Structure 1
């Protein structure tokens, strides 16, 4: 029997939180497997170094399109069925990517992989619906910790697998993992039938109204769009710096990315801070340290890879801090519109991510790490200035 959005029959037990976190991490990893192995892919499918960064950018653009076109349906269609359909498309796309030998085809599949990986953004609002207000930040933060672990562990796993079995095995394994996730969702996820009544065109038109009428949504979308731009810029350019300047192997790059996963501990911390009413302080700290973390590597180049490790860990911590506090603020605006609010919020984030990753190749090719670091610090600085202006007004 299906349930309405305002009266879910199940609550978020600890087991359910763990299940949601695992699924979110496994699904979102599809967007990031290519980041640390783009040089291997590009050489095999016939893409130049500068064109290779389009693999990451198109994956994120596809994800943003899926956020805008598919995720609003979570306010209209039964959620579990919608997630299973998108997961099926993801399985086919990943399997095809493992077999692709043409650069143009691989880029098109990258777009489709991103587009079909949006079920993670249906899971998170579903968890928010099932959680009381008093503990929503903690639960969402825990699930977002799983999501960030998926983002951060995708890179080292891809590097290790590619180093020993080739990059095609990465996408083949990802397809198998998605098949397993589909089974888990079919058996373990609750059904939720929203009570929102509208046609699909009306649903899309309502996105504009929400964006126009919710200043908190606009502000949070801008902050996190800039944060994800610097996040994607760093993690797309860092493997290039490590391999080309420091001579790191794919396995060594994997260890570097694994250390960066320490930033995932920010998620539950951010959730608890938001539940306790410290959203502004947490946001200010996240934006400020995201700017500062680039300065050692920029002004003390002798730090080398150590400076990159510190930069990566602090940056991941900051991105997660601002994302979780932002999500809690956005979800509190209108419970009946959480799917659409999340779609708008996350679309802006991944458009920012696509911008950052698309700049990584050209910036590194023409100015090395110095140009990457300056651009990386500029994105959160813009968000920080906007935050301070809003706070003053």
Structure 2
């Protein structure tokens, strides 16, 4: 892929590689996980937040969309600055502002003020995606995919464990305590990063208008980036359909699970973190196309499993424990695991490909890819809320299956045009 960029090339591979130790790679991974968790704490808390502010579940469900829209705005408007500004200083500034908004969310007196704080948190949490290309720029070429996979494994764990942690804290201390705890975690993380992150090499400044114009030019001229962005958006749309719809189905009859129990379902997706690491190695080995097809097929298989076997009818005759809920929950858990493997493996494969070149424009590549990605996620959350209101779980799983089919179609079409990287 060729990218027109007014920035100079990145530092040489040898120099970059020497700056990225195993410990620093781990810190990048932790950073991504802790920061991106701010976006996902709300998902298992929707029922409690709706009750606290006396709004309907449909309105509460839109908080997920609002936060993801904010994240997309941060990716679009802030992340490109990483190509021309000191990334260490940028990350630390975003974290400091995150602390303020987490505390504002915890103290929100009305639903609208909480929604506004959620939007701002989404914007500022783009700090995670300043960190990913920062780590990629420090890694040598031969292991860049593995480095991205490791760092993104931390981000994936943050996405998954955010639900579990938020559910547990809210169960014992209320949903507002979740945001206070998150603010403390961000302060600790900021102190660690201030000490450990290397100095970012100085680069010529570019006027902001020219920087944003180059983002648009990149999106228009790089076909591989466009296809990979579209596939990523479809994958994450399906992921968001699941996790928005799952909160509704598990808090409703016949389950009536509390936040802590709903949050535990996030643990079923830990296999996605393992898939992320493996996907980076496959991309480094030249198997990105085959891996993409396998991960897309896993997404479709997951939705078929959840649509056919999830909690639609009682399964008393199939339950060894005598409960009609065990069979559907086993199927649901298996589907969550498979979908996470597919979505997270696809994500790492995509990012490994788009970071393979573009040495002077990785921030802008991240902007194009992940803005598209999280717009897809926001659309998935919104569609999930509508599907649940109109047809319950069957409509939710049907929506997810249709998205997975579209993903497979994009993979085949991009390969036929030789534009899949």
TM-score scaled by structure 1? 0.96
CA contact (8 A) 1:76 1:193 kept: no
Partner of 1:159: 167
For 1:204 and 1:75, how far apart are their aligned partners in 2?
A: 11
Q: Deviations over 1:278-307 (max 9, x none)?
A: 100110001111011111221234442112
Aligned equivalents of 1:266, 1:290: Cα separation in 2: 13
Question: 2:28: which partner in 1?
Answer: 20
Which of 398, 404, 407 is the aligned partner of 1:374?
398
> Which residue, 2, 6, 11 being the options, matches 1:6?
11
For 1:303-338, what per-residue CA distance to the aligned partner results, in whole angstroms no more than 9, with x for missing partners?
421121111111111111111110011112311000
1:261-340 counterparts in 2 under 5 A?
Answer: 261-300=270-309, 301=312, 302=315, 303-340=327-364
Shift of 1:193: 3.4
CA–CA separation in structure 1 for the residues paired with 2:364 and 2:46: 33
Equivalents in 2 of 1:65, 1:254: separation in Å?
Answer: 27
Does the aligned pair in 2 maintain the 1:270–1:324 contact within 8 Å? yes
Give matches, 1:1-393, under 5 Å.
Answer: 5-7=10-12, 10-245=18-253, 246-300=255-309, 301=312, 302=315, 303-393=327-417
Q: Is the 8 A contact 2:85 2:205 kept in 1?
A: no
In terms of mean alpha carbon deviation, does 49-58 or 297-306 score higher? 297-306
> Which of the pair has more CA radius of gyration?
2
Q: Tell me if structure 2 keeps the 8 A contact 1:5–1:195.
A: no
SS at match of 2:257: coil
How far is the alpha carbon of 1:11 from its aligned partner?
Answer: 2.4
1:11-36 alpha-carbon deviations (Å, 9 max, x no partner):
22111111111111011100000011
Q: CA deviation at 1:390?
A: 1.9
The answer to whether the 8 A contact 1:228-1:353 is kept is yes
Which digits, 9 at most, give the CA deviation of each residue in 1:240-270, with x for residues without a partner? 1112032222222122222222321111100
Q: How many angstroms does 1:4 deviate by? A: 8.6
Task: Return the offset for 1:194.
Answer: 4.8
Q: Calculate the aligned-residue CA RMSD, in Å.
A: 1.5
* Structure 2: runs of 5+ lacking an equivalent: 1-7, 316-326
Which consecutive aligned stretches of 4+ in structure 1 deviate over 4 angstroms post-superposition?
7-10
Whether contact under 8 Å (1:5, 1:194) holds in the other structure is no
Structure 1: where are the runs of 5+ without partners? Answer: none
1:381 shift after superposition: 1.3
* Residue 74 of structure 1: how far off its partner (Å): 0.2
Structure 1 CA distance, aligned partners of 2:62 and 2:97?
21
Secondary structure, counterpart of 1:198 in structure 2: coil
Q: CA deviation at 1:181?
A: 1.1
CA distance in 2, matches of 1:45, 1:391: 49
What is the number of equivalent residue pairs in this alignment?
391
